């Protein structure tokens, strides 16, 4: 399928081929017929991409501060690489489309295949959206008009926040696409409307829709003009739909309002407010959030939990339905707002018009949807050849180097994991993601041959002998078992599993695969044990027989409670899902099995804080370790520190940039310009292990660490006695 991508680094807009997405539970697969380019939001993205690096930094001072913090903690080159990676990762554009339903995921019962729906899907031939982010189009409403619905919902949400009543006088500042829709919907609500904009053409359109207008320009006082139109009483409310860096629209809005007037910001302006403007008139000011209640709430959008109608009358989906009703009834006329139509193939030309003169309003992209039949979708391609394959052996011969299929291409995989494998002699043949777009982006960026949204292709390909899994944590064990039973080597990102049952399944699958004699290899992405400074420290500790005391401090940083990594059923929680890295590191540095394991979490109002905790470890050789995994620190402080106390000496690795020693040999130089956590070395060790049939990390050690983590995740204290005995037996066997 074709999809529009925008580079934030170069500003280039291009149409690329990507696999069509897979429908998932709670989602709707849609073949787009028309989509609307937002002249405001999308123009800002294009202009940002075309700006110089200096101008990008000037526009985002908060991002600059984050980069400077990263320079101080992780090194100059690490910060530069992170910025380049972000800017080099193109983003799909678009959020207001109309098309036909191709397929329905489990749990979607109010639509049928073939229904015409609107959605916030990308500019792409096929999109997959959650069920609450689409709505059925009334019969007879053409797709080029219905495509305005989501943009219209942005206008409608601003109106709902301002709470207009019949006869009130409203000002709309900024008569662009959203502003002109706002004018019409306010008029339909029985309000008098005054529109303000510097463009004569747009003011003329506003007058056609029933508004009075005021010009903005040098020597013109819009506040005085509005006072004249309201006989000096002021307006009841102002909705600002303009896009400007200036704070003047907000200041003018305050001076236009009557006492206790209301101001709602829908667009983007400066927010240097003067207290006196608001204080004397007791004005209210509110910023509108997108399409309405439910936006950015993963429980509503991703998990499909609707808000009760009796308590939340207007959700984002119900706002879509209201806009569709206004379009169908004629209360909202978008035909005059269409500045041009382009086939999807010519999207770059359409975006070129955004910065043109005269300014545009609504630009439509048109599509040729495939034939739609119940139970099948003709012409939908879920695999795309991105890079021509290099010469290789035939499928009947054992490959000299591993042939890899990647499952998952999220931020970590695309920025660090896939590049790490690209440095090895391995052949990168497949990358699969459910969205398809992320697979195509990763393939284009890293020279992978094929991108797909059909993961079965990887397992069915006889050439692929190695699967790299970088998906969400709740899928790791299932995909690992499938790959092992297919006779393929597996590199799986941590954790190996998030429940005891999952670890049992992996162990059984590995045993089944090994029963034939030529066992596939299994490795978990515990890259920190391969970091150069850890390798050096491990060598310095070699031969030490006295017990070690290890303290690992992780300044993990806070993430929202609703993020998937915090979910016990999806991410396993951050202790299981992320702190396992450091339990493995302690186990590696000690070189002895774990005999005791306790987790203690901070508490707030008697409830544990899931991502602020300490893990205490005891080892068979008498060593101890403590992992402090803390999400309540500050980003400016280094993220990770490892300290080893042993035999009268102390070693310290500070954020994988320096190794220092006190009372013992092995101190390094000054801090490195680049932080190295061992991702490349970890991938290289795995590929070398495949060539030698000698695992880089024993399966027993991987299972040992994984079991301790999942057993301890249930409670915030020590693991119970019978479980401890079982784990001790596992640790003893792994050492053997």
**pLDDT tens, 662-701?**
988 776 666 777 889 999 999 999 999 998 888 999 999 9
Average pLDDT over residues 257-283: 91
The pLDDT score that the predictor gives to residue 331 is: 95
pLDDT band at 581 (very low <50, low <70, confident <90, very high): very high
pLDDT band at 56 (very low <50, low <70, confident <90, very high): low
Residues of the chain with CATH 3.90.180.10: 2-148+334-368
- pLDDT tops 80 at residue 607: no
The pLDDT score that the predictor gives to residue 378 is: 54
For tokens 């202790």, name the residue.
575
Architecture of the 151-287 domain: 3-Layer(aba) Sandwich (3.40)
Rounded-to-integer distance, Cα 552 and Cα 546, Å: 19
Average pLDDT over residues 277-306: 92
Rg (alpha carbons) of the chain, rounded to whole number: 29
Rounded-to-integer distance, Cα 407 and Cα 455, Å: 7
- pLDDT tops 50 at residue 397: no
Average pLDDT over residues 517-531: 92
The residues facing 126 across adjacent strands are 31
Is pTM, for the whole model, over 0.85?
yes
- pLDDT tops 90 at residue 386: no
* CATH number of 399-525, picked from 3.10.450.630, 3.40.50.720, 1.20.1540.10, 3.40.50.11540: 3.40.50.720
Residues of the chain with CATH 3.40.50.720: 151-287, 399-525
For tokens 């554009």, name the residue.
93
Per residue in 697-709, pLDDT (tens digit) is 999 999 999 999 9
| Nearest by Cα to 708 from 678, 685, 731 | 731
Tokens read off for 680: 């490349």
The pLDDT score that the predictor gives to residue 672 is: 76
- pLDDT tops 60 at residue 344: yes
Which CATH superfamily groups domain 2-148+334-368? Answer: Medium-chain alcohol dehydrogenases, catalytic domain (3.90.180.10)
- pLDDT tops 60 at residue 580: yes
649 CB-near residues (< 8 Å, 6+ apart): 661, 662, 663, 664
Residue 259, CB-side half-sphere exposure with 13 Å CA sphere: 1
Q: Under CATH, to which class is 528-735 assigned?
A: alpha beta
- pLDDT tops 60 at residue 89: yes
Alpha helices in 434-475 (DSSP H): 437-446, 456-460
Q: Pairing mode, if any, of strands 549-555 and 466-469?
A: unpaired
Tokens read off for 183: 């004018």
pLDDT band at 57 (very low <50, low <70, confident <90, very high): low
Average pLDDT over residues 261-285: 91
Do 657 and 671 touch, CB atoms closer than 8 A? Answer: yes
- pLDDT tops 80 at residue 398: no
Residues of the chain with CATH 3.30.360.10: 528-735
Rounded-to-integer distance, Cα 139 and Cα 157, Å: 24
Higher pLDDT, 343 or 66: 343
Q: What angle do CA 456, 465, 387 make, to 5 degrees?
A: 70
Sign of the C-alpha dihedral computed for residues 42, 47, 50 and 56 taken in this order: negative
Q: How far is CA 276 from the centre of its chain?
A: 41
DSSP line for 222-243: HHHHHHHHTTTS-EEEEEE--B
Tokens read off for 155: 């206008």
- pLDDT tops 60 at residue 721: no
Tokens read off for 470: 């970088």
For tokens 């590199």, name the residue.
491
> What is the average pLDDT value for the chain, to the nearest integer?
89
Task: Identify which of 36-40, 384-388, 474-478, 727-731 has the greatest average pLDDT.
Answer: 474-478
Share of the chain above pLDDT 90, in %: 68
pLDDT band at 54 (very low <50, low <70, confident <90, very high): low
pLDDT band at 625 (very low <50, low <70, confident <90, very high): very high
The pLDDT score that the predictor gives to residue 95 is: 93
């Amino acid at each position: 399928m074709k999809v529009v991508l925008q580079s934030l680094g170069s500003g280039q807009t291009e149409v690329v081929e990507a696999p069509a997405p897979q429908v998932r539970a709670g989602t709707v697969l849609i073949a787009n017929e028309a989509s609307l380019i937002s002249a405001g939001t999308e123009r800002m993205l294009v202009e940002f991409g075309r700006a110089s690096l200096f101008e990008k930094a000037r526009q985002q001072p908060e991002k600059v501060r984050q980069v400077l913090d990263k320079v101080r903690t992780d090194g100059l080159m690490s910060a530069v690489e992170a910025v380049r990676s972000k800017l080099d990762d193109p983003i799909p554009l678009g959020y207001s489309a109309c098309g036909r339903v191709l397929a329905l995921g489990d749990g979607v019962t109010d639509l049928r295949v073939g229904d015409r729906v609107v959605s916030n899907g990308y500019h792409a031939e096929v999109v997959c959206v959650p069920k609450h982010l689409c709505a059925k189009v009334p019969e007879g409403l053409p797709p080029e008009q219905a495509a305005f619905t989501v943009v219209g919902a942005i206008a409608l949400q601003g109106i709902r926040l301002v709470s207009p009543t019949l006869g009130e006088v409203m000002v709309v500042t900024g008569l662009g696409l959203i502003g002109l829709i706002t004018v019409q919907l306010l008029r339909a609500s029985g309000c008098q409307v005054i529109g303000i904009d510097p463009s004569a053409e747009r003011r003329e359109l506003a007058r056609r829709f029933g508004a009075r207008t005021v010009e903005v320009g040098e020597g013109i006082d819009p506040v005085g003009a509005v006072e004249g139109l309201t006989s000096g009483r002021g307006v009841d409310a102002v909705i600002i739909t303009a896009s400007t860096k200036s704070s003047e629209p907000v200041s003018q809005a305050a001076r236009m309002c009557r006492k206790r007037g209301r101001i709602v910001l829908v667009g983007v302006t400066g927010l240097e407010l003067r207290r006196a403007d608001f204080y004397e008139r007791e004005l209210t000011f509110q910023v509108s959030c997108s399409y309405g209640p439910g936006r950015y709430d993963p429980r509503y959008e991703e998990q499909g939990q609707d808000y009760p109608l009796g308590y939340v009358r207007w959700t984002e989906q119900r706002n879509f339905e209201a806009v569709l009703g206004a379009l169908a009834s004629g209360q909202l006329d978008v035909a005059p707002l269409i500045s041009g139509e382009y086939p999807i193939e010519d999207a770059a030309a359409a975006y070129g018009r955004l910065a043109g003169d005269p300014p545009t309003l609504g630009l439509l992209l048109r599509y040729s949807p495939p034939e739609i039949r119940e139970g099948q979708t003709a012409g939908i391609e879920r695999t795309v050849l991105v890079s021509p394959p290099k010469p290789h052996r035939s499928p009947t011969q054992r490959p000299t180097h591993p042939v890899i299929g990647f499952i998952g291409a999220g931020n970590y995989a695309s920025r660090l994991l896939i590049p790490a494998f690209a440095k090895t002699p391995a052949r990168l043949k497949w990358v699969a993601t459910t969205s398809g777009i992320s697979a195509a982006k990763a393939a284009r960026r890293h020279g992978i041959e094929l991108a797909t949204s059909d993961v079965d292709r990887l397992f069915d390909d006889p050439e692929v002998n190695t699967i790299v899994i970088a998906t969400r944590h709740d899928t790791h064990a299932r995909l690992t078992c499938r790959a092992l039973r297919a006779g393929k080597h597996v590199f799986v990102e941590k954790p190996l599993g998030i429940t005891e049952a999952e670890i049992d399944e992996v162990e059984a699958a590995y045993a089944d695969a090994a029963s034939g004699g030529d066992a596939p290899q299994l490795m978990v992405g515990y890259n920190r044990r391969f970091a150069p400074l850890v390798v050096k420290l491990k060598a310095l500790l070699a031969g030490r027989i006295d017990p070690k005391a290890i303290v690992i401090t992780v300044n993990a940083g806070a993430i929202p409670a609703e993020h998937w990594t915090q979910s016990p059923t999806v991410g396993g929680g951050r202790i299981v899902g992320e702190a396992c890295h450091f339990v493995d590191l302690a186990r590696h540095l000690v070189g002895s099995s774990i005999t005791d394991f306790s987790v203690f979490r901070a508490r707030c109002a008697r409830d544990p804080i899931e991502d602020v905790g300490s893990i205490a470890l005891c080892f068979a050789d008498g060593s101890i370790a403590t992992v402090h995994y803390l999400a309540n620190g500050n980003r400016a402080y280094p993220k990770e520190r490892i300290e080893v106390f042993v035999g009268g000496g102390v070693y310290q690795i500070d954020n994988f940039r320096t190794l220092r020693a006190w009372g013992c040999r092995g101190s390094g130089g000054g801090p490195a310009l680049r932080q190295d956590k061992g991702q490349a070395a970890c991938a290289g060790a795995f590929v070398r292990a495949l060539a030698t049939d000698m695992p880089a990390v024993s399966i027993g050690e991987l299972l040992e660490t994984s079991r301790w983590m999942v057993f301890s995740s249930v409670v915030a204290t020590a693991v119970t006695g019978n479980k401890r005995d079982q784990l001790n037996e596992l640790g003893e066997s792994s050492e053997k």
